[in-house]
Structure 1
Amino acid sequence: MTRLLIINADDYGLTEGIARGILRAHRHGVVTSTSVLAVGPCVRRTARWLADEPALGTGAHLALIGVDPPVLTSREIPTLTTGRGGFPRDWRSFLARASAGRIDPADVEREFSAQLERLTGECGLRLTHLDTHQHLHLWPPVSRVFVALARRWRVSAVRLPSSRARGPKGAGIRHLSSRLARRTGAAGLLNPEAYAGLDEAGRLTLPRLMTTIDRLAASGAATVEINCHPGEGCDDAARARYSWGFHRAGELAALTSRELRDRIARHGFRTGTYADLPDPAGRPSPA
C-alpha cells in the first residue's frame, strides 16, 4: 500500500534565510509543503519566490502571537493586542488572556481574515491548507473561528496537531486535538490521519527524523504530516529577534539528506501536499 507523507515547513516569510532554506529543502530534499506567515516581515518579498515552485503546497500559518505586528491595528482588534500594540509574545501569554475571557472571537475572525486577504490577495497565493503559529487553533474558541474561516475561504484541509508527551501538557494537547478532530470532521474538512512535529519542534535533525518516519510507518496511518522548521543562516538581528532555540540549519541538512529520502521510500510513502489528501466523500477539492 502506498501512503501519503506531507512534509510541511512552517514560518515561510519570517526571514529571508528561512524562506531560502524551505525552498532549498523542497528543491533538493523532501519538503513538499509550506505554511506562510502573513505577519512575517519578509512575506511580501519572499511570497513572489513561490510562483517558481508549482509543486510546493502552500498554506496559511495564521498568527495571534509573536513579536511581529498584526495586520490590523490595535483599535480594530483591541483584545488581541497588548499595551505595546502588538500580539502577546507566546502561546502561554495568549492562553492566559483567553482563559480569563479577555479575547473576543470577533477580533480573532477579523485578524485571521485580514491575514488571509494578504496572502491570497496581495501575495497572490492559492492555499492548500490552514494551520496556526504555535498551534493556537487547538484552543476551542480559536478553533471555532478557524474552522468557520476554512469553510468560508474554501480551504478543504487543516492541520491536526497532537502530542506524544507524557504528563499534563501532553494529555491536554491530545484532549484538545480530539476535540478539534470532531469539529473539523463535522465541518467536512480533511486532516492527515497521523502527525508529528509539535513535540519535536526545531529539533528534527536526521536521527530524530529517521525515528519519526519509522514510528509513523509503524502506525499504519494512510496519510501523515510531519511539520518542520528548516532555514539557512540568518543575520544576527534576526537570530536575536526569533530566539526560539530552533536548529534550523540542522533540520535543513536532514531534510536534504539521501538517507532520509531512502528511508521514506523504504517505508512505501509517497510524498505530497494537503491537496493530495483523499476525500472519503469523493468531493473535488474547492476551486
Structure 2
Amino acid sequence: MKLIVNADDFGYSEGVNHGIMEAFYHGVVTSATLMVNMPGAGHAFALKQANPSLGVGIHLVLTCGKPLCEDVSSLMNEEGYFQKGKNFLDEAEPEEIRKELTAQFTRFVEQGGLPTHIDSHHHVHAHEKVSPIVIEIAKKYSLPIRMTRPNSEELKKAAILTTDFLAHTFYGEMATRDHLIELLETISEFETAELMCHPGYVDEAVITGSSYNVQRLQELEILKDPSLKQELAKRKIELTHYGSIKG
C-alpha cells in the first residue's frame, strides 16, 4: 500500500519549516501543506523549490493569521485577523469565502506552481460553505483533496481523487511512537492512506501564536526514529506523496 505522511502548517514560521524539513530529510515525512498567508510562507516556498521531491500542497486558511484580501469583513475580527474557531463560518458570506480561498490558491500558484493537493487548517475545507468552493478549485486543476469524515462521501460523488483513509489521531497526547505503530497496522489494510502530522521547531512565532508548540518537537523526534522505516517495510508500506497518486 502507499502512505503519504503529510506535515501540516508549512509556512507558519521558519521554526516550523525547519522542523518539517528535518522530518523530511531524516524521517518519514514525504509531503507538506503550505499556509500562504503566514509569515513563514516565503521561506517555505524557497524550501519547496530547493527540494522538488517533497510533495507540497496548499493548506487553505480561514482561522489563523490575516486574510490576503482586505474586504472580507465576515471572516475577520476587529484587528483584521481571521476569527477564531470555525463556528463563525456558519454566518460568513460565501462570496467572501470564495474570494479569500481563490486569492490563497492564486498566491500559491504564482509562487510555487500547482500544489500536489488541497487540505486546510482545522479542516475547514469540509465545512458545508467551504467544501463546494474547494471542490470547484480541485476539479478545475485536477487536484486531490484530503478526505475527512464530513467530506468523504461528497468527494466520492464529485469524483475527486483522495486517499482511502486519513489517520488524523497522531496529535497531542496521542502523538506517541506506540500509537503511530497502531496506526500503521490500520493503514496497512488500505491501498492508499494519509498520516497527518505537525512536526516543527519551537520559535517565538510558535510560542506566542500557537497552542500547539512543544508538541511539535515531540512529533519531530518520533517521525525521525530510524526504526519507523523498518516498521513500514515489515508491513509493505511504500512512502509517497499526492503527486504520485494522481489519476
Output the TM-score relative to the length of structure 2.
0.93
Is the contact between residue 58 and residue 126 of structure 1 (CA under 8 Å) also seen in structure 2?
no
Is the contact between residue 8 and residue 35 of structure 1 (CA under 8 Å) also seen in structure 2?
yes
Provide, for residues 65-110 of structure 1, a one-character-per-residue CA deviation record: whole Å limited to 9, x for no partner. Answer: 02x111111xx212111222221122xxx32x233xx211111110
- Structure 2 partner of 1:82: 77
Is the contact between residue 60 and residue 125 of structure 2 (CA under 8 Å) also seen in structure 1?
no
**1:185 shift after superposition:** 2.2
- Structure 2 partner of 1:231: 200
Provide, for residues 34-86 of structure 1, a one-character-per-residue CA deviation record: whole Å limited to 9, x for no partner. Answer: 000011111012311111211111100001002x111111xx21211122222
| Partner secondary structure for residue 84 of structure 1 | coil
- Residue 69 (structure 1) aligned to one of 66, 71, 78: 66
Q: Which has the larger radius of gyration?
A: 1
| Partner secondary structure for residue 11 of structure 1 | strand
- Structure 2 partner of 1:201: 171
- The number of aligned residues is 246
Check if 1:41 corresponds to 2:22.
Answer: no
**1:116 shift after superposition:** 0.9
Is the contact between residue 80 and residue 103 of structure 1 (CA under 8 Å) also seen in structure 2?
yes
Check if 1:140 corresponds to 2:131.
Answer: no
**1:276 shift after superposition:** 2.0
Letter in 2 for 1:27: Y
Identity fraction in percent: 27
Structural mapping, 1:1-287, within 5 Å: 3-66=1-64, 68-73=65-70, 76-90=71-85, 94-95=86-87, 97-99=88-90, 102-121=91-110, 123-152=111-140, 154-162=141-149, 176=150, 180-197=151-168, 199-202=169-172, 203-217=174-188, 220-235=189-204, 237-244=205-212, 247-277=215-245, 279=247
> What stretches of structure 1 of length at least 5 have no aligned partner?
163-175, 280-287
Letter in 2 for 1:201: Y
Letter in 2 for 1:149: I
- 1:104–1:48: structure 2 CA closer, same or farther, 3 Å change rule? same
User: Quick one: distance in 1 between partners of 2:185 and 2:116?
Assistant: 26
Output the TM-score relative to the length of structure 1.
0.81
User: Quick one: distance in 2 between partners of 1:205 and 1:276?
Assistant: 28
Q: CA RMSD in A?
A: 1.6
| Partner secondary structure for residue 6 of structure 2 | strand
Is the contact between residue 7 and residue 30 of structure 1 (CA under 8 Å) also seen in structure 2?
yes
- 1:278–1:115: structure 2 CA closer, same or farther, 3 Å change rule? closer
